[in-house]
Amino acid sequence: MRLRIVIAGVFVGLTATACSTVGHAATSAHMATTSQAKLSPPAAGTAVSARPAVFNCLNHPVVKPSSYVLTCADDGSFLYHLKWASWTAQRATASGVHELNDCTPNCAEGKFRKYPAVITLWRPEPLAGHPGEKHFTRITVRYTGPRPPMYMSNGQLVKHPASWTETLGS
């Protein structure tokens, strides 16, 4: 997944050295899952649900997670308090909170900001090496209240985005 979120002029995303969440109590449970930024299908023999799954930072397929780390490299962007309204063969939709490090004055000293959102997982595709199994390959986050100050999308700066869509596991 390649998220390009900019807050206060600083990219929040894939590099572990750019941002740090050391000492942030809300993410301490996620820190053990941040070792792999690029996800790939699980090893042969790993069980996957009959419904499409989404892969977490440990490369495990999950269905209806209560939280989900978006930036596995640094844990600076994640979803939590996810309440799934639906999880079908084509789409999964939840309400929850998108929490982001504002990286001000820098990412190590930044504060985490919370943004209520509706999260949609979509575009299920076959899972390589697992006939009949699928995984979601896209995520859309639509903010339902306050919005992050800035976001980079395809090289373009978007101020106070209403929503964004990215590829999962690429």
More confident residue, 79 or 16: 79
The residues near 28 (Cβ < 8 Å, ≥ 6 apart) are: none
Q: Which residue shows structure tokens 């308090």?
A: 81
Cα separation, 74 vs 169, in Å, equals: 16
Its pTM stands at: 0.70
Burial per residue of 43-70, b for 16 or more beta-carbon CB atoms within 10 angstroms, e otherwise:
eeeeebeebbbbbbbebbbeeebebbbb
Q: How confident is the model at residue 153 (pLDDT cuts 50, 70, 90)?
A: low
Q: How confident is the model at residue 8 (pLDDT cuts 50, 70, 90)?
A: very low
The residues near 127 (Cβ < 8 Å, ≥ 6 apart) are: 41, 48, 53, 61, 133, 134, 135
pLDDT tens column, 31-80:
333 323 333 454 444 444 468 999 999 989 999 999 999 988 888 899 99
Q: How confident is the model at residue 124 (pLDDT cuts 50, 70, 90)?
A: very high
SS3 26: helix
